[in-house]
Structure formats: C-alpha cells, structure tokens
Amino acid sequence: MAKRSAVLEVTQESLGGLGVIAPIPIHVQTPTFSGSLAALFHCVRERKIDLRDVPLFPVCQTYFEYLLTLPNANLEEAAAALAALAYLIERKAWSLLPLPVPEPEPYEEELAALGDLPSYDLEEAIETLQRWERERERSFFRTAEPTVNAYEVPYELDAITLADIARAFEQVLARSKPEPLQPLGRPRLSLAEVMKLLLSRLPIEPTTLLDIVPEDVSKADAVFWFLAILELVRLGQISILRDEDQLLFGRATRA
Amino acid sequence: MSSGTLVDQLEALLFVTESPATLESLASALRVTMGQVEQGLELLEQRLSERGAIRLIKIAGGYQLCTKEEYAVAVADFLQPQRRTLSRALMEVLAVIVYRQPITIAEIDATRGIASEYGVRSLVERRLIREVGRRPTPGRPVLYGTTQQFLHHFKLNDLKELPPVEIKAKDAE
C-alpha cells in the first residue's frame, strides 16, 4: 500500500476565480503524486497523469480526517472537495474496467475470412469483352426505349435566353421565404412529384412564373420548383413566351 | 402447317419482340414443337442472310432480329444512340464478377486490391449485374452475378462463350 501522509491546510479564501467554490486545500502525498486535491483533480481532468498510478485511498483518508478533525469547516468547501473526490473515484473506476474489444466490422470479418484468393489473369478476358462490346454496338435491335439522347430532345425557345429565365426565377426567389426550422423535417416532394403537381396547376393561358410557383414555398423549394419547370421545358411539356418585359409559361401545344 | 408459313410466322414474331425470344415461347405461341421452331429458325436465318438488312442471331439465351453490321453507320447516324461503353475500371470489376460469380463486394475488392463499390453500383444501374443472393456469413453480404442484359450487352448467347482465364501463379504477382 502507498505511504499515507497528508497535511491539512485550511484557508478562508476558498472561492475560486470563476466564482465556484474551490475544494478545501487538502495536501495529498502518495508515491506517485504530491500536491493539493485541486491540483490532482486538474491533472486528471487534463489527462496529464494516469489515475491508475495514483492510489486514492490516502486521498479519501485525508478528506475524512479533515472532516473529523475540523467539525467547523466550511460546508461548501467540503462539498466541493467531495465532488472532486467523487469525480476521481469514478474516473479511476472506469479506467480500471477492461476495455471492450472492438468487434470487427462484418466487411472486415469477411475480408479476413477470405484468406488468399486465387488471382485470375483477366487482361485477355477484359480485352475480349471490350472487343465484343465494340462489335455489339454495330448491331441494332428493336427496342421500346427511345434510343435518341434524351438530353438532346429539341425544344424551341425562340429569342428567349437563359438570362431571361434566370430573371423570372430571381423574382420567385425574392418573394420566397427562408427555410423554416422544422425539427422533425417534412419529406420533400420528389422532382417527379413536383413536375406532376406543376402540370396539374398549370393554367391554360400562359402565365408568369410567380403565378405558377406557390407563394408560400421556401427558397429551397422554389429552386426545386424551378428545376421541375426547366425539366418540363426540356421535355416539351411547357412552352415559354415573352410578353413585353416578362416571360409567360404555359402548357406546350404539340404541332 | 407448311414450313414456309412457319418461317414467315417466326419472322413476324421476332420482328415484334423487343427481347430475345426463347424456343419455348416461340413454340408455345405457334403451337408447334421446339424442334419445328429450331428448323424454322435455321431456314429463317439462311433466308435473312441472303437478302435484306436484317439478320437473325442467337443472343442471351434466345433469338432476336438485328441489323446487319454493314448498315451500322447508317442506323447509328439515324438513331444517334448514346454511347455507353464501359470504362476500363468498370470492365475490370465486371470481369471479376463474370468469372467469379456469385461474388461479394469484399471479394471483388480483395481480388482487385482497390475499392470497387462504386463500380458495382454503376454496373447494377446499367443492369449488367444484379443481386443474386446473400452469403450465409456474418453480415450476410450481398452476392452479385451477371444478368441477361450482360449477355445482350456483349452479344453473347451463354456464359460458356466467355474466353477461359488462367489462375495467376503466386510468384508471378
């Protein structure tokens, strides 16, 4: 057992700099640490010393001796010392517990179980597959899917520029509100759902973007609505017309 | 039913089909035996090879009509299809899966020596591979295998047509 010796010092100036009651200045002396209880507490909290090397029995003994020998001691100081002592004991108890062995991730476990895998010489096979792929591209089959590049479907915007569309969108953004705080969050509509909604509320007569996009949408939702409009323009479902200084969006009529 | 009629009927069925038609499905539709269908397909193949721009091929376990290669440029110019050839990295992932299926992502990683999750995801999106089950080991990892689309993509009728590969000697690595 460690050498037990402690010197009790009591001062009247026990209020710490931060207004917190400082623990009583118990001087602790152990084979591995010599200093005040407050200093030990500080060193442990800052991980400057390993508490497993410091026996806490003499520290506790010193504390109880203090309580017994000085019955008129400041109760708040004593309580602060008890809190510091409780912290040290708890930390030491945790540090003495065996560390749980981390369970290997299923993936790592699987990798470890694989051992040495046979290594195949795939170079030739890859070259053959690439050659077959090139040859296959020279044969065309009937297909239900459109083979033309979906992103090259022609659509007519006449003299309307991207800047014109951007200005129309800026008006919507200026009107929309910041994203409301929603602790639980609300599932956002998918782009496809917004496109469907948009088509359903698109009036027969071309109208402004401000009329199409709901007034109460947030800025983020406004961006989503705008993307849906652009997508519908690309797909030829919405046409854009210029009316003096503003753009009108309407259902596209097929020729 | 005369064989001429059967050949014409087979041609009509294959003309409208959008995926390889199996012998069974053709025989069932025409209410003939699979042997008769096979004979009819041979005649059709011969007839198409002699004239016209269409030919009959055996692909992905079935039969399908496609354009002859000499018309590839004209058809490509007309359709302007999106080229979706696989990158070298994707081809490597695919080759590992093709030759070692069913296989898990961990096994693919171990074989290639680098992470392959993105490649596997891309190949799933392209429908060239799919989940074929789960390995009964901790974590129950997903097993991947090739699809009919894979056979179609490389104009293969069967996985047996793949070129054989050799196992590398350990000291050769």
Mapped to the 3 state alphabet, what secondary structure does B32-93 carry? CCHHHHHHHHHHHHHHHHHCCCEEEEEECCEEEEEECHHHHHHHHHHHCECCCCCCHHHHHH
Domain boundary among B78, B112, B140: B78
Q: CA–CA separation, B14 vs A107, rounded Å?
A: 46
Task: Examine residue B41 and state whether it is found in any structural domain, yes or no.
Answer: yes
**In A75-143, where does DSSP find H-type helix?**
75-96, 106-114, 123-136
pLDDT tens track for A186-237: 567 778 888 888 888 787 788 888 888 888 888 888 888 888 888 888 877 8
- The SS3 of residue B135 is coil
Taking an 8 Å cut-off on Cβ atoms, the answer to whether A140 and B66 are in contact is: yes
Say whether both B70 and B109 belong to one domain.
Answer: no
pLDDT tens track for A112-144: 666 665 666 788 888 888 888 888 888 888 765
Task: Examine residue B69 and state whether it is found in any structural domain, yes or no.
Answer: yes
pLDDT tens track for B39-88: 999 999 999 999 899 999 999 889 999 999 889 889 888 887 766 778 88
Say whether both B142 and B71 belong to one domain.
Answer: no
From residue A18, alpha-carbon distances to A43, A44, B93 in Å are 18, 20, 62
pLDDT tens track for A24-34: 677 887 778 88
User: Do A27 and A56 contact (CB within 8 A), yes or no?
Assistant: no
Task: Examine residue B150 and state whether it is found in any structural domain, yes or no.
Answer: yes
For A104, nearest residue in chain B (alpha carbons): B138
Burial-class residue A81 by CB neighbours within 10 Å (0-12, 13-18, 19+).
buried
From residue A194, alpha-carbon distances to A166, A197, A220, A223, B24 in Å are 19, 5, 13, 11, 45
Say whether both B92 and B167 belong to one domain.
Answer: yes
Say whether both B94 and B157 belong to one domain.
Answer: yes
Say whether both B74 and B93 belong to one domain.
Answer: no
Taking an 8 Å cut-off on Cβ atoms, the answer to whether B110 and A147 are in contact is: no
Say whether both B104 and B144 belong to one domain.
Answer: yes
Please report residues of A whose CB lies closer than 8 A to that of B107: 114, 117
Task: Examine residue B122 and state whether it is found in any structural domain, yes or no.
Answer: yes
Spatial CA neighbour of B132 closest among B150, B147, B121: B147
Q: Is the pLDDT of residue A148 over 50?
A: no
Please report residues of B whose CB lies closer than 8 A to that of A126: 88, 91-92, 95
Please report residues of A whose CB lies closer than 8 A to that of B163: 124-125, 128
Asked if omega into A180 is within 30° of 0 (cis), the reply is no
From residue A201, alpha-carbon distances to A171, A230, A253 in Å are 19, 16, 16
Task: Examine residue B83 and state whether it is found in any structural domain, yes or no.
Answer: no
Instruction: Give residues with Cβ within 8 angstroms of A255, minimum separation 6.
Output: none
pLDDT for position A48: 81
For residue B86, the one-letter residue type is L
CB pairs under 8 A between A and B: 130
Say whether both B97 and B31 belong to one domain.
Answer: no
Nearest CB among B76, B95, B137 relative to A129 is that of: B95
pLDDT for position A5: 38
Question: Is residue B98 less than 8 Å (CB to CB) from chain A?
Answer: yes
Look up the CATH number of the domain holding residue B121: 1.10.10.10
For residue A242, the one-letter residue type is R
H or E element at residue A7: strand A5-8
List the single best residue of A109, A120, A128, A145 to mutate versus B (max B Cβ within 10 A).
A120
Tell me which residue has tokens 């091929």: B57
**Residue A76 to chain B, least CA–CA distance (Å):** 55
**Residue A139 to chain B, least CA–CA distance (Å):** 6
When pLDDT is cut at 50, 70 and 90, the band that residue A18 belongs to is very low
pLDDT for position A6: 38
Low-confidence ranges of chain B (pLDDT < 70): 1-4, 82-83, 167-173
- The SS3 of residue A243 is strand
pLDDT for position A106: 63
List the single best residue of A142, A147, A152 to mutate versus B (max B Cβ within 10 A).
A142
Say whether both B60 and B133 belong to one domain.
Answer: no
Domain boundary among B27, B51, B78: B78
pLDDT for position A178: 76
Please report residues of A whose CB lies closer than 8 A to that of B11: none
**Residue B35 to chain A, least CA–CA distance (Å):** 25
Task: Examine residue B149 and state whether it is found in any structural domain, yes or no.
Answer: yes
Domain boundary among B50, B78, B106: B78
**Residue A253 to chain B, least CA–CA distance (Å):** 25
Number of domains in chain B: 2
What Rg value do the Cα atoms of chain A yield, rounded? 38
Q: Is the pLDDT of residue A66 over 50?
A: yes
- The SS3 of residue A139 is coil
When pLDDT is cut at 50, 70 and 90, the band that residue A146 belongs to is very low
Q: Is the pLDDT of residue A19 over 70?
A: no
Q: What share of chain A has pLDDT > 70, as a percent?
A: 71
Instruction: Give residues with Cβ within 8 angstroms of A6, minimum separation 6.
Output: A26, A27, A28, A29, A58, A59, A61, A62, A65
Q: Is the pLDDT of residue A8 over 80?
A: no
For B63, nearest residue in chain A (alpha carbons): A141
Spatial CA neighbour of A149 closest among B76, B148, B123, B153: B76
User: Do B161 and A141 contact (CB within 8 A), yes or no?
Assistant: no
Q: CA–CA separation, B46 vs B58, rounded Å?
A: 13
From residue B18, alpha-carbon distances to A26, A78, A144, B65, B124 in Å are 89, 87, 7, 9, 21
Say whether both B146 and B125 belong to one domain.
Answer: yes
Say whether both B92 and B164 belong to one domain.
Answer: yes
Taking an 8 Å cut-off on Cβ atoms, the answer to whether A110 and B138 are in contact is: yes
User: Do A90 and A82 contact (CB within 8 A), yes or no?
Assistant: no
Both structure tokens of A65: 């001796």
List the single best residue of B54, B63, B67, B93 to mutate versus A (max A Cβ within 10 A).
B67
Nearest CB among B66, B80, B86 relative to A141 is that of: B66
Q: CA–CA separation, B76 vs B81, rounded Å?
A: 6
Both structure tokens of A104: 């290997």
Tell me the β-bridge partners of A246.
A243
Nearest CB among B137, B165, B170 relative to A122 is that of: B165
Say whether both B101 and B165 belong to one domain.
Answer: yes
Nearest CB among A125, A139, A149 relative to B155 is that of: A139
Question: Is residue B110 less than 8 Å (CB to CB) from chain A?
Answer: yes
Say whether both B61 and B93 belong to one domain.
Answer: no
Please report residues of A whose CB lies closer than 8 A to that of B114: none
Q: Is the pLDDT of residue A180 over 90?
A: no
H or E element at residue A204: none
Taking an 8 Å cut-off on Cβ atoms, the answer to whether B92 and A126 are in contact is: yes
Q: What is the mean pLDDT of residues A151-163?
A: 63
pLDDT for position B40: 93
Range of the domain at B100: 88-172
Taking an 8 Å cut-off on Cβ atoms, the answer to whether B173 and A109 are in contact is: no
User: Do A88 and A59 contact (CB within 8 A), yes or no?
Assistant: yes
Spatial CA neighbour of B19 closest among B166, B160, B152, B170: B152
Task: Examine residue B125 and state whether it is found in any structural domain, yes or no.
Answer: yes
